[in-house]
């Protein structure tokens, strides 16, 4: 059990405050149009597609690393799981967003991954994609839609999820190897988090 006060994080490790959020009923959604030149599509992801979008949306900017540690076989098993659905937003012929919804738990949906590349941030595309995520989740027979985010993710993420209708219910501390020191990511990834180690 942690006591009040400061606690050292070992060199080479990251410490993240993780906030878990949920919604228990579909909220009223404010309609929003996609920005000009942006299109939504459902994806049957290949390993190459997923690794590319995962990297450009989250790994390079926000140090997403959990899927980077997975073997091709393990990741392929997730990508072909029929209880998961994937969407992206395209602009100028390139996919610039990742929405992954996991319906594997009966009566629930997890927002497993959600994010945009810098090319779409600030244009209203994120709100459109979140509305789509909420509508898609609640189109199924669920009683709970949930997600988690952490303090090394985008500083706008938590407030965005709260504005979207999610309610926080749990907080944890996660300690993990810094992926820039293990070779999963380049040393210039996630410049907002200093490397110590």
- Each residue of 74-130: pLDDT tens digit? 999 999 999 999 999 999 999 999 999 999 999 999 999 999 999 999 989 999 999
Q: Are 64 and 54 in contact (CB under 8 A)?
A: yes
Sign of CA dihedral 43, 49, 50, 54: negative
Whether the predicted pLDDT of 70 surpasses 80: yes
Distance CA(178)–CA(180), nearest Å, equals 5
Q: How confident is the model at residue 197 (pLDDT cuts 50, 70, 90)?
A: confident
| Cβ contacts of 54 within 8 Å, gap of 6 or more | 64, 67, 68, 98, 113
CATH of 39-182, one of 3.40.630.30, 3.40.50.300, 3.10.20.90, 3.40.30.10: 3.40.630.30
pLDDT of residue 1: 77
Q: Are 19 and 158 in contact (CB under 8 A)?
A: yes
- Give the residue-averaged pLDDT of 36-57: 97
Q: Are 117 and 89 in contact (CB under 8 A)?
A: no
> pLDDT averaged over the chain?
96
Query: What residue segments make up the domains of the chain, in order of their start?
Result: 39-182
Beta strands in the chain (DSSP E): 13-23, 38-43, 84-91, 94-95, 97-102, 108-116, 144-150, 167-177
């Amino acid at each position: 059990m942690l006591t009040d006060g400061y606690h050292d994080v070992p060199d080479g490790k990251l410490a993240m405050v993780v906030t878990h959020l949920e919604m228990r009923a579909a909220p009223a959604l404010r309609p929003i149009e996609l920005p000009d030149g942006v299109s939504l599509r459902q994806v049957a992801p290949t390993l190459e597609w997923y690794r590319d979008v995962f990297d450009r949306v989250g790994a390079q900017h926000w140090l997403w690393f959990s899927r980077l540690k997975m073997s091709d076989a393990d990741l392929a098993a997730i990508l072909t799981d029929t209880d998961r659905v994937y969407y992206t937003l395209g602009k100028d012929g390139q996919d610039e967003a990742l929405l992954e919804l996991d319906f594997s738990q009966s009566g629930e949906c997890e927002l497993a991954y959600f994010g945009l590349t810098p090319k779409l941030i600030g244009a209203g595309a994120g709100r459109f994609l979140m509305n789509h995520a909420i509508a898609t989740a609640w189109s199924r027979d669920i009683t709970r839609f949930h997600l988690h985010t952490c303090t090394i993710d985008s500083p706008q993420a938590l407030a965005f999820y709260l504005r979207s209708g999610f309610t926080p219910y749990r907080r944890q501390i996660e300690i993990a190897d810094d992926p820039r020191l293990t070779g999963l990511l380049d040393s210039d990834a996630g410049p907002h988090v200093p490397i110590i180690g």
